[in-house]
Structure 1
Amino acid sequence: DSWEWSDKWSRFFRHWAAGQPSQSSGSGDCVGMTRNNFGKWAQYSCDLRQPFICHGGEL
């Protein structure tokens, strides 16, 4: 898939839910973790307010 990390971290790590990322138009350009699918990722509209995680530097 063509998704990228905003900091260009790892191109290879993916944790998509089944059927994601959606190939249909209008699915959205943002990604969020799903609560009902063990934290797997789903594609969302960027207009939706969602919880988020930020990485603030080296661990």
Structure 2
Amino acid sequence: MSDFRIELLDKIAHIQERLRLITCIYTNQMELLLQRFSDDYEDLERQLVQLKETIRQLDSDRQ
């Protein structure tokens, strides 16, 4: 193989490795964001339930 072909193949391999790493990083970041979103969503749901219960209690106390 010519040096030029070997150099091109090395560059291709390098680019493929960088793309693989970028994809892994992106995937990990998306998984972390999804987990944070899920945690935040669950927390907001709990707060909403507590708020509704507080409102019910206040309404019943008024009557």
TM-score (norm 1): 0.16
* Structure with greater helix share of residues: 2
* Structure with greater strand share of residues: 1
Q: Which has the higher contact order (CA 8 A, sep 6+)?
A: 1
